[in-house]
């Protein structure tokens, strides 16, 4: 696959990640307002699956370095969504200690996902620069 084809795939993955991030942000807002979340949880799951498909082995072009960071990105996203889902189903009763622990995990998983996205973007950039030089 040439540089333009790889750039299109990498761009599509970045857009899919952005759609998931938007859905997670909306879920975060609804959780903070204590409104019903089921529809947003389903939207997040749909976006997570789209990202997994976009980064899947049959869709991902490029060398192993990109595949490795893409797999790490998917793993981090999956962990992030799982802990968000946990936050969404916590009882609304006063369980502040448990809620704080889950929020702490959400923050940690968010940081992991952002770091993996940065690594993925850097690997894609390196591949595209090398392909552009050849």
pLDDT tens-place string over residues 72-102: 988 999 999 888 888 777 765 556 667 788 8
Q: Which residue has the higher pLDDT, 111 or 125?
A: 111
What confidence score (pLDDT) does residue 19 get? Answer: 93
Distance of CA 17 to the CA centre of its chain: 5
Q: Taking the CA atoms of the chain, what radius of gyration do you get in angstroms?
A: 17
Give dist(CA 110, CA 108) in Å, integer.
Answer: 5
pLDDT band for position 60 (cuts 50, 70, 90)? low
Q: Which residues contact 83 (CB under 8 A, 6 or more apart)?
A: 102, 105, 106, 109
Q: Assess contact for 106 and 87: CB atoms under 8 A.
A: yes
Task: Give me the number of domains the chain comprises.
Answer: 1
CATH number assigned to the domain comprising residue 59: 1.20.120
What confidence score (pLDDT) does residue 3 get? Answer: 57
pLDDT band for position 119 (cuts 50, 70, 90)? very high
pTM: 0.77
Which segment, 58-67, 86-95, 116-125, is predicted with the most confidence on average? 116-125
What is the share, in percent, of the chain residues with pLDDT greater than 70? 83
Mean pLDDT confidence for 40-66: 80
51: domain range? 3-133
């Amino acid at each position: 696959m040439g540089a333009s084809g790889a750039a299109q795939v990498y761009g599509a993955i970045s857009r899919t990640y952005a759609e998931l991030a938007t859905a997670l942000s909306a879920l975060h807002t609804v959780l903070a307002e204590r409104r019903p979340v089921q529809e947003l949880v389903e939207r997040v799951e749909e976006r997570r699956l789209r990202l997994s498909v976009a980064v899947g082995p049959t869709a991902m072009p490029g060398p192993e370095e990109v595949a490795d960071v893409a797999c790490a990105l998917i793993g981090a996203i999956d962990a992030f969504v799982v802990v968000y889902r946990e936050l969404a189903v916590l009882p609304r009763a006063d369980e502040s200690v448990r809620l704080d622990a889950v929020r702490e995990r959400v923050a940690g998983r968010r940081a992991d996902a952002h770091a993996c996205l940065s690594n993925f973007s850097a690997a894609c950039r390196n591949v595209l620069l090398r392909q552009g030089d050849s």
